[in-house]
Amino acid sequence: MRPTFRAARLAAALAAVSSLLWSAPPTAAAGAPTASAALGDSYTSGVGAGPYDLAGGLCLRSPRAHAPLWAAAHGVRDFRFPACAGATSDDALRKQVGALDPGVRLFTLTLGGNDVGYSRVMLACSVGLPGTCDGEADRAEAEMDRSLPHRLDAAYHAIAQRAPHARVVVLGYPYLFGAPSCPVPSPPNARRMDAALDHLDAVVADRARAARFTYLDARRTFAGHGACSGAPWINPAGPLFWESYHPNAEGQRGYFRLLSRGI
């Protein structure tokens, strides 16, 4: 999802971002595709997992993200990684699908959150005035129903045209909280944020299946690992707000395991 850099405003209101240790991926497996790719937004690029590839600039691509972990573990010789923080479906069309060709046999993506401005929901529900959380969540859900299906359909069509032999795996977004909730946002706002993600996942799953892509639901995989759980896979709200509410290194490994089971 689209990062925002209002760290100065948020630092006083939000708790420090958690940091977790990362361990190496499993050893390579046989039978991997010779070329794979990972497109989409910050949940694919690895925002929140760090460290970031400085050559990618503000795309904030991390080697701890699930796609490079999968490629390394399965011996993929040609891995393409144009995923970028803040990417919308239009960005994927203009800047990312060019990385695909008929030789790509598998690729993964997360897409949709930035199309509906979900980062505005994050901000309003964390530090906004009373009532702004519900208002922003309602606005985002209206966009999910009104414009997101057409945007995803266009991106998915271009993907299918560029890589006609590939298996396409669309990953859903996990709940950010579950129980227990965090000090920030308030429990009602946390529930509203998770409800909006339910709505988003429903639209993404519907359009992925309509395109005959594989959809993998991340919510069960991440259950019990919300931002303020005993073993969080989601970064809580913190002064580095672009990393807030994104999977940490363990969360990306959760995505890695979901992807490994799903394909």
- In whole angstroms, what is the distance from residue 28 CA to residue 112 CA? 31
- In whole angstroms, what is the distance from residue 126 CA to residue 181 CA? 12
Structure tokens at 237: 């709200």
Whether 183 contacts 190, CB under 8 Å: no
Q: Hey, what amino acid is at 129?
A: L
Angle (deg, nearest 10), helices 249-262 and 66-73: 50
Q: State the Cα angle at 141 between 61 and 219, rounded to 5°.
A: 55
- In whole angstroms, what is the distance from residue 106 CA to residue 168 CA? 6
Residue 35: which residues within 8 A CB-CB, separation 6 or more?
A: 76, 77, 78, 79, 80, 103, 104, 105
**Whether 246 is catalytic:** yes
Catalytic residue (one of 42, 62, 89, 229): 42
Cα dist from 154 to 21, 36, 89, 159, 178, whole Å: 39, 21, 8, 9, 32
- In whole angstroms, what is the distance from residue 43 CA to residue 29 CA? 24
**Whether 150 is catalytic:** no
- In whole angstroms, what is the distance from residue 83 CA to residue 86 CA? 9
Catalytic residue (one of 66, 74, 225, 246): 246
Whether 237 contacts 244, CB under 8 Å: yes
Residue with tokens 């199309």: 115
Q: Hey, what amino acid is at 198?
A: D
Catalytic residue list: 42, 246
